[in-house]
Amino acid sequence: MDNEKLKRELFRPSKAAKQERRGKFISFSALALIVVAVSAIILFVTMKGLAAFTQNHVNVIDFFTGRDWNPSVKGANGQPEAGALPMITGSFLVTIFSALLATPFAIGTAIFMIEISPKRGAKILQPVTELLVGIPSVVYGFIGLMVVVPTVRTLFGGSGFGILSGTLVLFVMILPTVTSMTADALRSVPRYYREASLALGATQWQTIWRVILRAATPGILTAIVFGMARSFGEALAVQMVIGNAALMPTSLVSPSSTLTSVLTTGMGNTVMGSLQNNVLWSLALVLLLMSLLFNLIIRLIGKKGAMK
């Protein structure tokens, strides 16, 4: 009779085994929660973003090519004026310009930090860039408002608000990020690459240009795309200096807007579920898709770089 009991005792999972199962379950649920959150964000923003096209029958092509943004007014064709081209253009322009401006400075600084003067790099440049990566974007926006906008106004005329100011603010904002990521890429180039090149009689610059930069290209590209993704998604710093006029930019100093700036200013002034609100969610969807695209590009670069 005791045999049965003993058998049960022996085959029962131990306390540690139960704990193990519970622990594994808890930690997996935490991970699952993150996945659910990501899926929920993508699902909800997509659903809301498509509402303007499915419920309010905004024409998709008009949305992407229309130049007039005034969703509360009906245009000549009886459709609401919901052309997002000005904002899309604005977002792309500030992103591309700021990346073009930041790239040479970031690469130059990173090379200086890692190759030319590692001591000063580690002592001054690295802590400064690391600190500046953490500066909140509103602070960049505020300085843009105080310094960049008046400077642009005196130098180039106009109100000072516009693509140029947005570009300059984003340039300074992404510079630390791109610099420190580029420095990481350079740091991961093996030391013997440098030694081999110098032993062949190459000068320092030839080594940097022909060997190190080539070897670090995937990492540097990742850094640049990462910076672009940050520029594209930045909301408040840009919104403060871009001028917030939903017009096609006619020059670099004409007030314009980006996807994010229209979202931040518009979302509070529209009623949930209305057409004016739904088209804003469509802008958010464009933003989301672009961020997914940047993500994909980074992954592709990573894969290509890894194959070598």
Please, which of residues 121-160 interact with other proteins by CB under 8 A?
Answer: 124-125, 128-132, 134-139, 141-143, 145-147
Closer of 30 and 306 to other proteins (Cβ): 30
The verdict on 101 binding other proteins (CB under 8 A) reads no
Judged by CB under 8 A, the chain residues 45 through 64 that form the site for other proteins are 45, 48
The verdict on 235 binding other proteins (CB under 8 A) reads yes
Closer of 67 and 303 to other proteins (Cβ): 303
Closer of 23 and 157 to other proteins (Cβ): 23
The verdict on 13 binding other proteins (CB under 8 A) reads no
Judged by CB under 8 A, the chain residues 191 through 220 that form the site for other proteins are 202-206, 208-209
The verdict on 236 binding other proteins (CB under 8 A) reads yes
Q: Work out how close the CB of 111 gets to other proteins at its nearest, in angstroms, rounded to a whole number.
A: 6
162 backbone φψ class: left, alpha, beta (φ>0; ψ -120 to 50):
left
The verdict on 34 binding other proteins (CB under 8 A) reads yes
Q: Work out how close the CB of 78 gets to other proteins at its nearest, in angstroms, rounded to a whole number.
A: 29
Q: Work out how close the CB of 1 gets to other proteins at its nearest, in angstroms, rounded to a whole number.
A: 32
The verdict on 274 binding other proteins (CB under 8 A) reads no
Q: Which of 62, 68, 81, 234 binds other proteins (CB under 8 A)?
A: 234
